[in-house]
Amino acid sequence: MTVQGYDPRTGEPVGAGIAETTDLPSLLDAAAAAFPAFRSTPPSVRADFLTLLADRLDAAAGELVPLATAESGLPSARLTGEVARTSAQLRLFARVVSEGDYLEAIIEEADPGATPPRPPLRRWLEPVGPVLVYAASNFPFAFSVLGGDTASALAAGAPVLVKAHGSHPALSAATAALASRAAADAGLPPGVFGIVFGDEQGVRALRDPRVKACGFTGSTGGGRFLLGVANSRPEPIPFFGELGSINPAVVTPAAVAARAEELVSGFVGSFTLGTGQFCTKPGLLFLPAGHGLGPALSTAVAAASPGPLLNARIADQFETGLAGLASHPGVVASAAGSPAPSEGSWASPRLFTTTTGALRADPDGLTAEHFGPAALIVEYTGADDLLAALGAVEGSLTATVHAEPGDDFPLPELLEVLGDRAGRVVYNGWPTGVAVSFAMNHGGPWPSTTNSAHTSVGATSIRRWLRPVSFQSVPDELLPPALQAANPWGIPQRRP
């Protein structure tokens, strides 16, 4: 059995395919065997390893980007930028590890007079054990083999087993080979990094007792299934799934009046970016009734080019979903881009329009994510009508508002509702850009993630792979270095 990638621009196979994994038990053994040594490495060793991975990835861009282009259909310029983003992400985690804040070390001396009496206690965060990472299709670098889940887990000191995405197996194999060479060159045990090909092998890995946590980026259906697998193990494990997201965006009447042209071009650019295959694509745009942007939107959408979707399954689901939307009694198909080529899995941008009344009457039907270059305009009649309609929209990664200085719209109420529905609130921008930084949050209420308490992008995403351990009255020389009085790692030790 092989995992075969196809060029979505032509439908032709890319290479001969990658053999499905047949030695899963030995990969799991290696990950489990690597854990004790890897977790004990000082921060500098892991930081150097992450930096080495970043350097090697940058150096291999010329070799990897053409593979990625062939298997994803994404343009070479975009993928080159994605490599830079991915190596920057690895370097951010090198910094996170070096700074050591993430260990949340707390040192408490004894207090015999406390209620109840307190012995000396020292707490920090330890890695949970080997982590399984399900790679995504839509970012073949940034959310795949050496993407954010892998970078943050390695930073934490957790060996990583990647389940390769079936849409870019050749790129995954090449990236994994690079990672394994870097691990060897860094003097780390080989089980620090491994890769699994094949859907059944991925599920087997998730069920294996050696795997202690799982990260996933993909569809709501797939994520819900794997969440069930993780929780029905004899020993349930944490599952961090980033699933579908509709990402509502709201424009106030004042913003329409002030910035019509910029809003139209920004919105169409955002929902068609990467052929609409961003998890932060604004899928719903709330405009005030009588906005008058219809002609400009139609023109902009008509001018937007068709693009290839990542694979034939996504293309089928996109067309099926849009057919349902087009035949919905409360929806008008209001704009389309030029027709897509018939070979491969191309899709044309599409725009639909509905009202808050129709949305509230059928929220499941009208707020479902359509993965691809499509969006739905929702016309509202006032602030109360808008707020009520937003209450019917499911949880998202992002929620956006466009407003003006001195806007008479009730913005505090609007931001509170949006903050309840999403993990990131964007003001006068578009949500498709996701910075990789300390204050980024890429996570939100169900169904955008399975666990809204965590982010899958940015420095704090490392918290997913850690668990606290306290040491009570343990002599200094037996404590982990991070908790010793001499603080040999030089990390922040909080003394409350």
Binding to its own copies (CB under 8 A) within 386-415 occurs at 395, 411-412, 415
Binding to its own copies (CB under 8 A) within 449-468 occurs at 450-455, 459-460, 463-464, 466-468
Q: In whole angstroms, how close is the CB of 492 to its own copies at the nearest point? A: 11
Q: In whole angstroms, how close is the CB of 323 to its own copies at the nearest point? A: 25
Q: How far apart are CA 190 and CA 400, in angstroms?
A: 44
- Provide CB contacts within 8 A for 375, sequence distance 6+: 267, 271, 276, 281, 282, 283, 284, 285, 351, 352
Given the complex with its own copies, which of 208 and 379 has the nearer CB atom?
208
Binding to its own copies (CB under 8 A) within 27-56 occurs at 36
Residue 425 lies near its own copies (rule: CB under 8 A): yes
Q: In whole angstroms, how close is the CB of 97 to its own copies at the nearest point? A: 14
Residue 229 sits at φ, ψ, to 5 deg, of: -60, -45
Q: Report the catalytic residues.
A: 242, 279
**435 CB neighbour count, 10 Å cutoff:** 12
Q: What tokens appear for 77 in the block? A: 């310029």
Residue 434 lies near its own copies (rule: CB under 8 A): yes
CA neighbor of 264 nearest in space, from 246, 282, 245: 282
Residue 184 lies near its own copies (rule: CB under 8 A): no
**68 class by beta-carbon count within 10 Å (0-12 exposed, 13-18 middle, 19+ buried):** buried
Residue type, 236: P
Q: In whole angstroms, how close is the CB of 229 to its own copies at the nearest point? A: 11
Q: How far apart are CA 366 and CA 181, in angstroms?
A: 48
Residue 380 sits at φ, ψ, to 5 deg, of: -115, 160
Binding to its own copies (CB under 8 A) within 97-116 occurs at 104, 106-108, 111, 114-116
Binding to its own copies (CB under 8 A) within 238-297 occurs at 238
Residue 441 lies near its own copies (rule: CB under 8 A): yes
Q: Count residues contacting its own copies (CB under 8 A)?
A: 78
Region binding its own copies by CB under 8 A among candidate stretches 133-141, 188-196, 302-310, 440-448: 440-448
Binding to its own copies (CB under 8 A) within 72-101 occurs at 81, 84-85, 88
Q: In whole angstroms, how close is the CB of 168 to its own copies at the nearest point? A: 21
Residue 126 lies near its own copies (rule: CB under 8 A): yes
Long-range contacts of 109-114 (CB under 8 A, 24+ apart): none
Given the complex with its own copies, which of 36 and 339 has the nearer CB atom?
36
Q: How far apart are CA 52 and CA 282, in angstroms?
A: 36
